[in-house]
Amino acid sequence: MLRAGGKPSPDAVHTIDGRMAGNPTKRLTREQALRAITEEGIMACPYCRPDTDLRVL
């Protein structure tokens, strides 16, 4: 998974092969991606749907 956007607030979590990620991106572990989406309130990309891969619906 990737977290797109610069600091201090990333704009979305994307799948590795998601075309919307752009630059800069930071590779996340599964646990970090889950935390970003479920606890930190960072949006899951509605196009590449990392929440589906993570089974967060």
What is the average pLDDT across 34-49?
90
Specify the range with the lowest mean pLDDT, choosing from 27-31, 48-52, 53-57.
Answer: 53-57
**47 and 20 in contact (C-beta within 8 Å)?**
yes
CA distance 23 to 57: 26
Give me the residue label for tokens 């704009």.
Answer: 11
Predicted pLDDT at 11? 80
Within 13 Å and on the Cβ side, how many CA atoms surround 27? 2
CA distances from 8 to 4, 11, 19, 23, 54 (A): 11, 10, 22, 14, 24
pLDDT digits over 7-40, tens only? Answer: 566 788 888 776 666 666 788 899 999 999 999 9
Identify the DSSP state of 44. Answer: B
